[in-house]
Amino acid sequence: MSDFFGHLLGLLRVEALASRHQAVFAAGRTRRPDFARHASLESVLASLADARAETYPEREALTRALVAEVQASSSPAWTAALASAYAPMLRRLRRRLLSNAVSREDLDQLVIATFLAVARGFPLARWGDWTAARLRQQTAREVFRHLRKERAEQHETYTQAQLAEWLPDTRHATPVESPRRPSVRRSFVKRDAVLVHLAQATLPRSDVEVLMATVVRREKLRTYVSRLVEGDAAEAERTYQRLKRQRTRLMQRLRTQVVDAVAQPATGC
């Protein structure tokens, strides 16, 4: 689990306990009888942290009251409080996650965002018990579903029609002077096809997009950046320098995998 994830959870707790939310909680107490004996959200969180078996009924009731407020109110106090209350569960889930398809920071945010999305859509009227267990199960299911989808997209196999669309079209190319040039050109096309497959199987989508634009479509990197960043010269330059370093690392990584394929004779092309 990254330090950033613990930092995010800490920020959520600070947000939940901010003094500016006292009025929000006071209004919530009038709507939710389960909050009645608590003077603040800090008291609610303390009760939810009490894991003794005899406190389960109160924890269940407080969880359902928080979920109801998350669904009914736009105040960040309720979402922050619910995430803070279930921080131990979220940490355990985050520790289970390893993915080459998603960065660590994105995994951190995925866990929290998925948990809150599950809470917003939780059917309180249909599921009247085991709320904590159901939140945990639904969150884990949605997180792993998302990661399976990301992994499947990265390992998608391209058809010949897709490769033909992406690779430089040489069907109508005019013969050149050197008799060796067509073979060299065919080797470039073959190399590009290998790079595409390797990149799709091993690299994040952002790296694949840079590869497709600047290696396969032969687009200049600055042209590619100008499409990403419009009107801000400083940001465009920062993006250009970042993507330039990213592409260099990407190519170094792929060259070690593609060298054998490039060295093969270009027969049969």
pLDDT tens-digit profile of 5-63?
888 899 999 999 999 999 999 999 999 999 999 999 999 999 999 999 999 999 999 99
Assess if residue 36 is contained within a domain.
yes
Distance from C-alpha of 132 to C-alpha of 87, rounded to nearest angstrom = 12
Using pLDDT thresholds of 50, 70 and 90, give the confidence band for residue 198.
low
Same domain, 216 and 123: no
* pLDDT at res. 228: 78
Check whether 262 has a pLDDT greater than 60. Answer: no
Residue 195 lies in a domain: yes
- Determine, yes or no, domain membership for 164: no
Measured CA distances, 173 to 18, 79, 183 (Å): 68, 60, 13
DSSP structural state of residue 157: P
129 and 74 in one domain? yes
268: left (phi over 0), alpha (psi -120 to 50) or beta: left
The answer to whether residue 268 sits within a structural domain is no
What does the block give as tokens for 35? 């909050």
224 in a structural domain: yes
Please indicate, yes or no, if residue 66 is contained in any of the structural domains.
yes
Number of CB atoms found within 10 A of residue 115's CB? 24
Q: How far apart are CA 205 and CA 107, in angstroms?
A: 15
CA torsion 147→148→154→156, rounded to 10°? -160
Same-domain pairing of 9 and 139:
yes
Same-domain pairing of 124 and 231: no
Average pLDDT over residues 200-216: 67
Q: How far is it, in rounded angstroms, from Cα 41 to Cα 55? A: 17
- Residues 234 and 146 both lie in one domain: no
Tell whether 129 and 246 lie within a shared domain.
Answer: no
Residue that is last in its domain, among 156, 177, 205: 156
Same domain for 150 and 52: yes
- Alpha-carbon gap, residue 30 to 34, rounded angstroms: 10
More confident position, 185 or 243 = 243
* Distance separating alpha carbons of residues 136 and 241, to the nearest angstrom: 42
Q: Are residues 43 and 149 in the same domain?
A: yes
The domain tally of the chain equals: 2
H/E stretch holding 151 reads helix 131-154
Q: Which domain holds residue 14?
A: 4-156
pLDDT interval class at 256 (50, 70, 90)? low
pLDDT in tens, 52-109: 999 999 999 999 999 999 999 999 999 999 999 999 999 999 998 876 666 788 888 8
89 and 25 in one domain?
Answer: yes
Q: How far is CA 105 from CA 8, 66, 93, 194, in A?
A: 10, 27, 14, 30
**C-alpha torsion sign, points 90, 91, 95, 96:** negative
Determine, yes or no, domain membership for 170.
no
Residue 174 lies in a domain: no
Same domain, 28 and 147: yes
| pLDDT tier at 138, thresholds 50, 70, 90 | very high
Chain position carrying tokens 């970042």: 242
**156, 180, 214: which is the final residue of a domain?**
156
